[in-house]
Structure 1
Amino acid sequence: MSERVVAPRHRGFLYVDAHPAGCRRVVEDMWQAVPAAAPAPEAERPVALIIGSSAGYGLAATVAGLRRAGIRGVAVCFEKEPTGRRTGTAGWYRTAATAELARQAGQAGQEMVFLNGDAFGDDLKERVATLIEERFGGRLHHLVYSVAAPRRTDPDTGATYSSVLKPVGGPHRTKTLLFEDGDVPVVREVEAAAAQGDDVEQTVNVMGGADWERWIAHLAGRGLLAEGFATVALTYIGSPLTAALYRQGTIGAAKAHLEATAGILHERLEKLVGGRAFTSVNGAAVTQSSTAIPGIALYTGLLRGVLGEGLVPPAAQLSALWDDLTGAAPLPVDGEGRVRLDTWELEEEVQAAVTRRWELATTESIAELADVDWFLGEVRRLYGFAVPGIDYDRPVETAVPWPGA
C-alpha cells in the first residue's frame, strides 16, 4: 500500500503531483456527460485507435468513443508511473479510471487496450499493428490523432526535434493571466521573443502531420485499414486575440502542416480503401497544453465570462465528432475540408464581447470581466484537485496499476 495525503503543490499552472481519486472523479463526470449509444454486438462495434488518449481532447475522444460509439481497440499515451517520491501523472490516473469505467459498463472491457509509450517511435507502431491484427480481426475503422509534445525523434534519421512557442516575424507583447499566492488573479503584459533559425522547422517536425502520416503508412502497409476507414487529427484555430502567438506563430505553422497532411492522406485513403482523412477544429478548453501558452489563460477566462454555460466542453464536442466518424450524424465542413466544432466560440458577437473585455482587463478589473474562479478550478481539476466530493485531507492510494498490468 502507498497511501498518503496528496497536496496540490505547484509552480504556476504546473502541478507537481496529481490526486488519484480526484482524477478518477473527473473522468467519471466526463463519462456521465456523454450521451450513451444503444448497446451493439461486439462484431458491430468499430475498432479504433486513439493516439494521445490521456489528456485534453484526446481523453475526451477516448471517453466519448467508448461511451457514445462503443469503440474497441487501442488507446496510446505517454505518462509517468507512480514512484515512492512522486505520484503518477494525472494522465496515468485518468487512464486507469477510463479503463475501469469501460469494464464496468461492459461496453469494451478487456477489448480496449491501453498502451503507455512513445507514439513517435516505430516500435510502438508495430506493437499496435500486431494487436489490431491478433485481437481485433485485422481491421481498423477509425484513428484519432491528438498529440501535443515538446519533442520528437525521427525514426528514420534519429534526429530529435524540439517544439517552441514563438511568434513569427518579430517579438510579440500580450496580456496574460497569472495567479499569485495560489488564487489571486493578476493581469500582466509579457513579451515573447521571435522565432529564429530553424524554430519553425523544428516545431513543424514535432507538432505537424509527419507522425500522423507515418502511423497511417505503417498500418496501411500491414493491410489493417478497413474499407471506409476514417482518420481525424484534432486541431485549434482560436481568436485573433491569440493569433500572433498561436495560429500565426510556430505552432500555427505546425497546425497548417497538419491540415495539409489531411489533404494528402485523404487522397491516398480514398483510392486505397474508399476512406477519408480530415482535421477537426475544436473550441477553446482548459488543458495542460493550453495553459502553457501566454494569453490563452486570459482569453479562455474572458470567453467563459461572456458565454457562461454556453462554453461547449470537450466531451460534448467529441461526442458530435464520433457521430460524424460513425456516420450517425455527419458534420458540415468548411471550405478547406475541416470539421468545425468551434463555431460557437468564433461567432462575431462573441468575439466582439471578448475583445472588449480583453481591452479593459487589468488586475483590478479582471474578476468582473472573466470567470477566474471557473478557470482556476479547471486548472486544478486537470490534476485531480478542487473536485467536488473528494476529501483531500484523507490518505489516498497512489500506487494505481496501469490497466491490464
Structure 2
Amino acid sequence: MTPRVLTPRNRGFLFLDAHPAGCRQLVTDMWGACPAPARLPDGDGPVALVIGSSAGYGLAATVAGLKRAGVRGIAVSFEKAPTERRTATAGWYRTAATAELARAAGRDLVFLNGDAFSDPMKDQVAELLQERFGGRLDHLVYSVAAPRRTDPDTGTTYASVLKPIGRTARTRTLVFDGEGAAEVREVETAPAEGDDIEQTVAVMGGADWARWIDHLAGRGLLAEGFTTAALSYIGSPLTEAIYRKGTIGAAKAQLEATARTLDERLGRELGGRAVTSVNGAAVTQSSTAVPGIALYTGLLRGVLGEGMVPPVHQLATLWDQLTGAAPLALDEEGRVRLDGWELADAVQAAVAERWRAATTDTVAGLADLDWFRAEVQRLYGFGVPGVDYTAPVATDVPWPDATA
C-alpha cells in the first residue's frame, strides 16, 4: 500500500483510522514509563499468557510483564488487518510495536490474533505452550472486554449491554462537538429487561476465564505455584448506577466469585492462586463507551493531575505480586486493589463536589479537558508527542511473525 498522510476522523470517541507511527510511539513511551525491576529473573524468565493483550490494561499487562517481570510466552488479542481503504485497528499496530520491544529485550513472546472465546484458540495456545515453552505456564492475566461471546459448547451467542438494574438511571456525561468543544449532557438509560443481566454475565463474567484454566489444566500445562489474575474495575459511587450496580457490575461480581472458586482449586491442586485485580480509572476504548465515565475521568484528572497512576505502573505492581517479588496484598473479598489512589475519601469528595458543579459553562475549569481529549486521540495513535503527522506513513504493517 502507498504510504499516506493520516488525519484523525472520528464519530464521538470512535476513530475510523489508527496511526501506525503514533501507536508505536505510544507503546515505546509506555515501556519507558514502566519502572524497571531491581533485577530480572535468571534464565529465560517465567512463562506467561496474556489474554486481551492489545489495548487498555491488557496492553499495560503485556508491556509491564516484559519489562518488570521478564516474562516470555503468548499474548492473545483480536484485531483487524489493514485494507486498501482502511488502516488496521490501533491494537494491530500496538501489537506490532510490542513485538519489537519484546525482541529487543530478548524475550520470546508470541502474538496470536483471533477469538479468545473459542476452543480452537485455546487449542492453539496449548500446543504452543507444549512445543515452544516446555509444557508449562506460570502466569495467566485475563483482560477481555467484548460486546459478544459465543459459547463453544452450545453455539449460543450472548451480547453484553450497559444498563442499570431495577430502574432508569440518569447521569451526566461529557461529549465533544466536531470542533472539540465540550458539552455536559444528562443522559437517561433504561433498566435491564428480559435476560439482559444473564447475557452480560455470560460475556463479561468468569465463564471464559474458568474455561481457559480448565482447558490448560486438562492438558497438564499449569506449573506448580501457577497464578492467574482477571482484571476488573469498581469505580466511584458517582458512576455506580450504570456500572458497578448495573449489568456490567453483575458480570464483575460473577467474575470475582469465579476467582474465589478457582483460587480454592488451584491452591489445592498446585499451590497456586487466582485473584481479581481491581484497577484504577483510565481512558480506554472500553471505558469511553460507559455513560458518565468520560466526565468522571476528566474531573478525576482535574483533582489529581499527575497523581493519577498510569495503567503500566499499576500492572507493574500486579506482576510483582503474581511473581512473588512482593506478597499478594488482598482485600477482604480476596481482590488485589490497585485503585486506592482513586477511591481515597478526600479524592472522591473533591471529585463529587466538581461533579455537582459541572455544566457546559463550568466544566473547563473543573475537568482536565485537554488531557482527556489527548488521551482519547492517543488511543488511536494521534496526538502522540514526537510523531510527525504531516509525513506519509505505511499502513500495511505486518502482524508479528510467530516463528521469528
Q: Tell me the TM-score normalized by structure 1.
A: 0.98
Amino acid at match of 1:160: T
Q: CA deviation at 1:181?
A: 2.0
Q: CA–CA distance in 2 between the matches of 1:78 and 1:338? A: 27
Residues 29-51 of structure 1: CA deviation (Å, up to 9, x unaligned) = 000011223344434x1000000
Cross-structure match for 2:341: 344
Calculate percent identity across the aligned residue pairs. 72
1:118 aligns with 2:115: yes
Q: CA deviation at 1:272?
A: 1.2
Cross-structure match for 1:51: 51
Cross-structure match for 2:281: 284
Task: From 256, 260, 278, give the equivalent of 2:257.
Answer: 260
Contact 2:229–2:277 under 8 Å retained in 1: yes
SS of aligned partner of 1:3: coil
Q: CA–CA distance in 1 between the matches of 2:179 and 2:67? A: 36
Which is further off, 327-336 or 155-164? 327-336
Q: CA deviation at 1:193?
A: 1.1
Amino acid at match of 2:268: K
SS of aligned partner of 2:389: coil
Q: CA–CA distance in 2 between the matches of 1:104 and 1:337? A: 37
Task: From 237, 241, 246, give the equivalent of 1:244.
Answer: 241
Cross-structure match for 1:294: 291
1:34 aligns with 2:34: yes
Cross-structure match for 2:18: 18
Residues 281-331 of structure 1: CA deviation (Å, up to 9, x unaligned) = 000000000000010000000000000000000000000000001111124
Q: CA–CA distance in 2 between the matches of 1:338 and 1:153? A: 28
Amino acid at match of 2:308: L
Amino acid at match of 1:98: T
Alignment of 1:5-404 (within 5 A): 5-37=5-37, 38-43=39-44, 45-106=45-106, 108=107, 111-404=108-401
Q: CA–CA distance in 1 between the matches of 2:177 and 2:305? A: 24
Q: CA–CA distance in 2 between the matches of 1:181 and 1:398? A: 25
Q: CA deviation at 1:170?
A: 1.1
Amino acid at match of 1:81: A
SS of aligned partner of 2:255: helix
Q: CA–CA distance in 2 between the matches of 1:113 and 1:325? A: 21
Contact 2:41–2:69 under 8 Å retained in 1: no
Q: CA–CA distance in 2 between the matches of 1:33 and 1:70? A: 16
Amino acid at match of 1:398: T
Q: CA–CA distance in 2 between the matches of 1:194 and 1:270? A: 39
Residues 222-270 of structure 1: CA deviation (Å, up to 9, x unaligned) = 0000000000000000000000000000000000000000001011111
Consecutive unaligned residues in structure 2, runs of 5 or more: none
Q: CA–CA distance in 1 between the matches of 2:372 and 2:2? A: 31
Residues 321-368 of structure 1: CA deviation (Å, up to 9, x unaligned) = 000011111242110000000001000010000000000000000000
Amino acid at match of 2:300: L
Contact 2:51–2:116 under 8 Å retained in 1: yes
Amino acid at match of 2:143: S
Q: Tell me the TM-score normalized by structure 2.
A: 0.98
Amino acid at match of 2:282: A
Contact 2:3–2:394 under 8 Å retained in 1: yes
Amino acid at match of 1:242: T
Q: CA–CA distance in 2 between the matches of 1:10 and 1:182? A: 11
Q: CA deviation at 1:182?
A: 3.5
SS of aligned partner of 1:177: strand
SS of aligned partner of 2:75: strand
Contact 2:40–2:69 under 8 Å retained in 1: no
Equivalenced residues, count: 401
SS of aligned partner of 2:238: helix
SS of aligned partner of 1:215: helix
SS of aligned partner of 1:240: coil
Amino acid at match of 1:86: R
Amino acid at match of 1:165: L
Q: CA–CA distance in 2 between the matches of 1:98 and 1:139? A: 23
Amino acid at match of 2:43: E
Q: CA–CA distance in 1 between the matches of 2:216 and 2:246? A: 32
Q: CA–CA distance in 1 between the matches of 2:43 and 2:179? A: 48
Contact 2:40–2:68 under 8 Å retained in 1: no
Amino acid at match of 1:312: V
Which is further off, 95-104 or 328-337? 328-337
